[in-house]
Amino acid sequence: MSSMLAPSPQPRTPVTPPGTLSYRLVTQADFDLLLRYRQECGWGEDRLRDRWMKSDFPLCVFVLQLPDGSEQDVGMGGWLLEEEGHASKKDGWVKLSALFIDTSFQRLGLGSLALRLLEQLAVDLFDGRVVTLDAAAYHIARSGEFPDWKYVEMAPQESSNSLWYKKLGYEPYGDIVPLFPDPGNPGNEFHAVFMKKNAPPRSVTAI
């Protein structure tokens, strides 16, 4: 997923999101926005270009509805509907392919809201019964300045992302494998863990 690179876990004080999070499915006009998100995230730019607007790779933009009535694009999400071992329309497995919150809006409680929204939409839009994802298996330390960041995988220290997903009900399955390209070292790959959970019930409004 888009949240491969993350800082080590830090104690957090619960926060109240500054508005209501919704979404819109992407159109051609959103490509530059999503490309910026991928670049800001640190990986996934090539996959975005290769799979843009393909039917089995739907994407969305997260939209924050503020108390004053204005709206602000704050991130991106996505699903993968067919991938061997991880996504299957026939079996009702939907993989979350992207979850990224703009750095200007991080640590506001939007990540958890975005994840729950993606899970619900996996059911309501794509008939999912099981939600899967991949995340960095080990903590990845980052140094330097954008765009020349350098990364080091700190195995066996578990990544903050995989710990976060476990807290939200995801369980690992399958093998830990090299998967995420190292943006600072072409040819090197960081390890991923695959995780899954049962999808939530279908929304009443979607029935």
Phi, psi of 46 (to 5 degrees): -65, -40
Question: Please, are residues 173 and 166 in contact by the beta-carbon 8 Å criterion?
Answer: no
Report the pLDDT value the prediction gives residue 192, as an integer from 0 to 100: 97
The whole-number average pLDDT for the span 93-109 is 94
Indicate whether 167 pLDDT > 80: yes
Instruction: Give CA–CA dist 107/43, Å, rounded.
Output: 20
Tell me what the mean pLDDT of segment 88-111 comes to. Answer: 95
Tell me what pLDDT residue 13 has: 55
Dump pLDDT digits (tens) for 18-50. 889 999 999 999 999 999 999 888 778 888 999
Sheet strands (E) in 8-121: 20-25, 59-65, 71-80, 93-101
pLDDT surpassing 80 at residue 124: yes
What domains can you pick out in the chain, each with its CATH number?
20-199 (3.40.630.30)
pTM equals 0.88
Mean pLDDT estimate for the chain: 90
**Cβ proximity of 159 and 139 under 8 Å:** yes
Burial class (CB in 10 A: 0-12, 13-18, 19+), 48: buried
Local structure of residue 66 (DSSP, 8 states): -
